[in-house]
Amino acid sequence: MKDIRPAILLFIIFTIICGGIYPALVTGIAAAVFPRQAQGSFITGKSGQAAGSTLIGQPFSDPKYFWPRPSATSDFGYNALASGGSNAGPTNPAYLKTVAERVKALRDSGVTGTVPADLVQASASGLDPHISPESAGLQVARIAKARGLSEDAVEQAVAQATEGRQLGFLGAPRVNVLVLNLELDRL
Amino acid sequence: MNIYEWLQTILYFVVLLALVKPLGSFMAKVFQGERTFLSPVLAPFERLIYRVSGVKPEDEMGWQRYAGAMLLFNLVLFVALFVMLLTQHLLPLNPQKVPAFTWQLALNTAVSFTTNTNWQAYVGEQAASYFTQMVGLAVHNFVSAATGIVIAIAVIRGFVRRKTSLLGNFWVDLTRCTLYILLPISLIFSLVLVSQGVIQNFSPYKSVPLVQSTNYDKAKMDDKGVALKDAKGNPVSENVIVKEVTIPMGPVASQEAIKELGTNGGGFFNANAAHPFENPTPLSNFIEILLILLIPGALTYTFGVMAGNTRQGWMLLGVMLFILITTFGVLQWAESSGNPLVARLGVQSINMEGKEVRFGLAGSNLFTVATTGTSCGAVNSMHDSLTPIGGMMPLSLILLGEIIFGGVGSGLYTMLAFAIIAVFVSGLMIGRTPEYLGKKIEVREMWMSILAILTAGIVVLILSGIAMIAPQAVAAMSNPGAHGLTEVLYAIASMANNNGSAFAGLNANVNFYNLFGSLAMTIGRYVPAIAVLAMAGSLAGKKYIPPSLGTLPTDKAPFAIWLTLVILIVGALTFFPALALGPIVEQLMMVN
């Protein structure tokens, strides 16, 4: 029973160190060295006020905007308070029906050929800010038409919002949809 | 796999293997009480901690007292977190004014974080206050990880020490593990993660106007919260226009680092390491996967150093790597082959459901096998949406008993129990008394090893059986048919093996999973832990037998192959029927 005292006191001590000093230290250093990232990588829109985080996707359905990946967050897509995926299994009939509807919506917007998987399958977080360059490419014609811009101008905006593989080989190339759409609104 | 995916995967294993030796020998120094390069800074704090808490560092413990101290400490952890969850609405740092947990959910969550499982039946950004996340959950991330590591160290001492009953001092091991290993690595990597965009602040959640507003149909409720229906019995709904979203904030990076490093896996947010604020870039993803395997990998070297023959450790690491890379290969093949039922609709044939674009397939799949081979349980893709054979890989890694790297410490001690079984079976075949590391393996060691490797499996099979006849457990499935069975099997396997990941469609916040799950996590954590400590106590008392001609060399490749076979045979015999009814049937349905 001589171990009761260390059990309780060490718990209290580690709570102070790991639950108080450590996160406070990380917060302090982060605020000094990486203030923008620590606060959520927010960007400003046309009017100069915060338009969202570059890391958190937003819902778009208007033909003049690039469409993001489908999102399965509850209540509405890209609900940042309810991150999560569809958790639909690969043979679930309801899931297959949903994907078929998404493909149809894309076809109706003028998309032909094979549809990139990321554009009709929901992300894990439901907040994925990116689409693949292929998914961006097949929306260019629609957006140029809706905005009365040349396809070249839209493609240039896509190129600006495209991030390559990190350090040249990590991850996948991707296009940030919110950054791209804000850029289009500035044109 | 394209060339970049090969490159990043190969580089990953090169970096991991390069870190095994330096970190492994550093940990050996820490646990053998030697001075390290951190001692000038940390030794005064260490002495102060012992003085305040009344620990006598030179006071070594036998296995019963070591196990008793471990259990007592874990009881304190459990009670403190349980009370905190029930009273979080009264505690500070709660800018979102989240309410208290129900007692069932608080019980499950407190057991979950105390046992290093980090099963989560709640939505982090909605249900937990900053105080709970930081003072409650993050602290448990450190000390539950340390608990696992120090048990493994005590077991190694059992093999190494001769004719003694003493295994070390639990309090000293725990303190040194937290202070010298977990805190410094977490501090460095949490800052690296912030540089990539992981948030770290105490701000209230931020509302931003949407660039394009959205809308949804919201079911109308009466005063009692029951859905209203019209005259025909159809639910009534109203269209709600959403003009702004609320983006959650919080001290995420400090928790993210220890969550991966300590193979805890409990996410700050519901989407866990798929959430862009937890894992924003391919580099942060690379680092997080590295942190998951870092300590379990390096501990094999620590074991080798302490056992006086580092090849013994490399052999175990080789077995782990072989199975991990094999399952990665199968998962990568399955996910890049995709889902024929979706491809038929004119869609590119890879499976991106439940995956993030930035990680790519290889970055998602490597995370998946790392997090389930270890008992981490963090996820960067949704395992529920993997193809059937793909989903069988993380499930199988969990069912093998969390030994493919395994939880910090717990992976190594369970792997050592498997090594003893392998030595024993081969001893029977060649008619020799089995020995491992110069210690004779007798009835007591066999009993304890069997308890360590079979407990979780027995719990999984019994509880999955009960779940199939419990209406509440069945109703919680989110997908029909064979996939639903896999969801339940995965949930119970995850809890009993202290993993914590999920086929997350399952609605786990019901009494069945909260209560039976708490039981499974408790048994799955403490029965093997006590068994291996008892074994260590008995081994430490034995004399050393020098290797002779009849000794099976356990530091050579044939033993590694034999050990691999024993692991796979035990796993297959226990779980093949269940896997055949779940993922295998579903794969056949999907392909035809």
Q: Does A153 touch chain B (CB under 8 A)?
A: no
Three-state DSSP class for residue B240: strand
A172 vs B341: CB contact, 8 Å cut-off? no
User: Is the domain of B25 the same as that of B108?
Assistant: yes
Q: What is the pLDDT of residues A68-93, one digit of tens each?
A: 999 999 999 999 999 999 999 999 99
B222 to chain A, minimum CA–CA distance in Å? Answer: 18
Q: What is the pLDDT of residue B124?
A: 81
The pLDDT of residue B79 is 96
Query: Is residue B366, in this structure, part of any structural domain at all?
Result: no
Strands A130-131 and A174-176: antiparallel
- How far is Cα A50 from Cα A52, in angstroms, rounded to an integer? 6
One domain for residues B226 and B258: no
CA of residue B92 relative to chain centroid, distance: 30
Q: Tell if the CB–CB gap between A38 and B200 is shorter than 8 Å.
A: yes
pTM of the predicted structure, to 2 decimals: 0.96
Query: Is A93 near chain B, with CB under 8 Å?
Result: yes
ipTM of the complex: 0.96
**Are residues B31 and B103 both part of a single domain?**
yes
Residues lower than pLDDT 50 in chain B: none
Domain-located, residue B363: no
Cβ atoms within 10 Å of B469's Cβ, excluding its own:
8
For A114-132, write each residue's pLDDT tens digit. 999 999 999 999 999 999 9
8 Å CB contact of A38 and B201: yes
CA distance B459 to chain A (A): 25
- Residue A51's pLDDT is what? 87
Question: Mind spelling out the 3-state secondary structure of A41-58?
Answer: CEEECCCCCEEEECCCCC
Percentage of chain A beyond pLDDT 70 is: 99
Helices (H) and strands (E) in chain A — how many of each? 8, 5
Quote the pLDDT of residue B233: 76
Q: How large is the average pLDDT for residues A55-79?
A: 95
Tell me how far apart the alpha carbons of residues B80 and B82 are, in angstroms, rounded to a whole number.
6
Nearest CA in chain B to A13: B49
For residue A26, list chain B residues with Cβ-Cβ distance below 8 A: 187, 190-191, 194, 200, 251, 253-254
Q: Please give the average per-residue pLDDT across A126-144, as a whole number.
A: 96
Question: Does residue B262 sit in the same domain as residue B149?
Answer: yes
Residue B367 lies in a domain: no
Domain interval for residue B235: 206-247
Task: Please check whether residues B143 and B278 belong to one and the same domain.
Answer: yes
Residue of B nearest to A94 (CA): B479
Residue in B with minimal Cα distance to A112: B346
Tens digit of pLDDT for each residue in A22-54?
999 999 999 999 999 999 999 987 777 888 999
Interface of B with A in 417-456 (CB under 8 A): none
* In-domain check, residue B25: yes
Distance from CA of residue B545 to its chain's centroid? 36
Instruction: Using an 8 Å CB-CB cutoff, list chain A residues near B479.
Output: 87-89, 92, 95
| One domain, residues B179 and B240 | no
Q: Say if residue B216 is in the same domain as residue B133.
A: no
Burial pattern B431-449, b for ≥16 Cβ within 10 A else e, equals: eeebbbbbbebeeebbebb
Tell me if B578 is assigned to some domain: no
Q: Within a domain: residue B223?
A: yes
Which pLDDT tens digit goes with each residue over B276-324?
999 999 999 999 999 999 999 999 999 999 999 999 999 999 999 999 9
- For residue B567, what pLDDT is reported? 96
B332-336 own/partner pairs: CB under 8 Å, 24+ apart: B332/B1, B332/B361, B332/B362, B332/B365, B334/B386, B334/B387, B334/B389, B334/B390, B334/B393, B335/B361, B335/B364, B335/B365, B335/B386, B335/B387, B335/B390, B336/B1, B336/B361
| Domain presence at residue B544 | no
- Asked if residues B66 and B204 have their Cβ atoms less than 8 Å apart, the reply is no
Residues B243, B257 within the same domain: no
> Which pLDDT score, from 0 to 100, does residue A48 have?
74
pLDDT of residue B123: 84
Q: Is residue B167 part of a domain?
A: yes
Tokens (6 digits) for B508: 């786990």
Domain identity same for B95 and B165? yes
For residues B243 and B111, membership in a common domain is answered with no
Question: What average pLDDT does the structure give for chain B?
Answer: 94
How many other C-beta atoms lie within 10 A of the C-beta of residue B370? 29
My answer on whether B196 and B281 are in the same domain is yes
Tally of domains in chain B: 2
A110 in contact with chain B, both atoms CB, cutoff 8 A: no
Same domain, B222 and B289: no
- B281/A171 Cβ within 8 A: yes
